[in-house]
Amino acid sequence: NLLFYYDSENCHRPSGLLLLEGCYCERLITTGAASKSKDVAERQQFCFAITYRRENLRQYELRALNEMDCKNWIEAIRDASFNRLMLQKEELEQKHLHLLQIVESEKTAKWQYTQQCEELATEIKKLRAELLSLKKEWKPLSHHQSSGSLSSVQGTSSAGMTGQFANLDQDSIELRKIKKVQSFFRGWLCRRRWKQIVEQYIKSPHAESMRKRNSLVFRMVEAEEEYMEQMEVLVTCFLRPFKMAASSKKPPCSHEDVNSIFLNTETVMFLHQIFLKGLTSRLESWPTLVLGDLFSMLLPMLSIYQEYVRNHHYSLQVLTECKQSPAFSALLKKLELKPACRGRSLETFLTYPMHQVLIPTT
């Protein structure tokens, strides 16, 4: 988008340089041409001006040799813009991408047609082999039929009747063979049509939505199973042993402390047991799935999660206070060493009930 201009045709070095970005190029309209001489009017006949949007910038007036050159110069200067080139570049890139997509689709179609041709060639080979076998069977039968016709002409009426029955048997054999070939063709056409239907369905939007739904349901079931495993470890390895210890003669902590630490953990576990059981029972009726009623059942139970989240910080404070007791600390260390805990502390398990808080609202 640069324009070098010269004072005359004989000049070898340019007189200046113009930046054409953001400029206007219009045909120069001269005023008072009648009062001027003929030579001056002819000189200004093919002139055009280059102007800019900004103020205090010089206006350049240039002249072409003829009308055609003048129009070409004006069009070329108007097109000499970086933004315009970028737009043209984007258009060409879009066309290029479109052509690439067309090429890919044509390649896919070519591959499909090649596969169909190979399948048809295989079927043709099978049919040729079938026809050859039929021809081999037909030759001895036709020879037997010709000999039977000669004997029927020369024989008695009873022999003629047997020849007619033989012809009927021969016709029934031929009909069975024709039906066999027809059934083979019909089966091949049905298999081919069914394959096309399956391929079209696999590429359809409905199949894509079904795949997404299946993936979502499977991930939901896996997450629920993992969540239930963690909750069962929390209840069986920590909550219930601490409740039993609180009921002993020398309790390391009180029942009130246990309830403050674990809050409504057991209720949350029972709720998700019901939800997981409902999910697994619905999977038995696959691919028909109705899960809305399960989530509607969980919606009124959001207050359980809210209560746990709201009091979680307080439960950690109570746990810290109880750890100051040597008996409580010894029992806690013993429980944390169980294989089911996998080296995780009680504080870690107390965060697990909050991991599935958002499931009822999804």
C-alpha span between 188 and 108 (Å, rounded): 23
Tokens read off for 64: 């072409």
Phi and psi for 49 in degrees, rounded to 5? -120, 145
Answer yes or no: is 87 within a domain. no
Answer yes or no: is 307 within a domain. yes
**Could you tell me the residue range of the domain that residue 164 belongs to?**
104-202
173 CB-near residues (< 8 Å, 6+ apart) = 141
Higher pLDDT residue, 197 or 84? 197
Same domain, 164 and 25: no
Q: Are 291 and 279 in contact (CB under 8 A)?
A: yes
pLDDT interval class at 161 (50, 70, 90): very low
336 CB-near residues (< 8 Å, 6+ apart) = 343, 344, 345, 346
C-alpha span between 189 and 195 (Å, rounded): 10
pLDDT given at position 140: 65
Same domain, 234 and 348: yes
Sole residue written with tokens 């029927």: 152
Q: What is the CATH number of the domain that holds 62?
A: 2.30.29.30
188 CB-near residues (< 8 Å, 6+ apart) = 123
Q: What are the helix (H) ranges across 22-156?
A: 38-43, 67-79, 82-154
Q: What is the mean pLDDT of the chain?
A: 77
Phi and psi for 94 in degrees, rounded to 5? -65, -40
pLDDT given at position 248: 85
Answer yes or no: is 93 within a domain. no
Higher pLDDT residue, 325 or 137? 325
Same domain, 112 and 222: no
Instruction: Find, among 54, 60, 68, 78, the residue nearest to 18 by Cα.
Output: 60
Q: Are 22 and 53 in contact (CB under 8 A)?
A: yes
Model confidence at 352: pLDDT above 50: yes
What value does the mean pLDDT take over residues 243-272?
88
Same domain, 301 and 327: yes
Percent of residues in the chain assigned helix, strand, coil, to nearest 5: 75, 5, 20
- Amino acid, single-letter form, for residue 28: L
pLDDT given at position 168: 53
Model confidence at 157: pLDDT above 60: no
- Our measurement of the distance from residue 282's CA atom to the centroid of its chain's CA atoms, rounded to an integer in Å, reads 26
Q: How many domains does the chain have?
A: 3
Same domain, 58 and 151: no
* pLDDT tens by residue, 36-48: 556 566 666 788 8
The pTM of the full predicted model, rounded to 2 decimals, is: 0.45
* pLDDT tens by residue, 164-222: 545 556 567 777 777 777 777 777 888 887 887 877 777 778 778 877 877 888 888 88
- Among the candidates 30, 48, 80, a domain finishes at 80
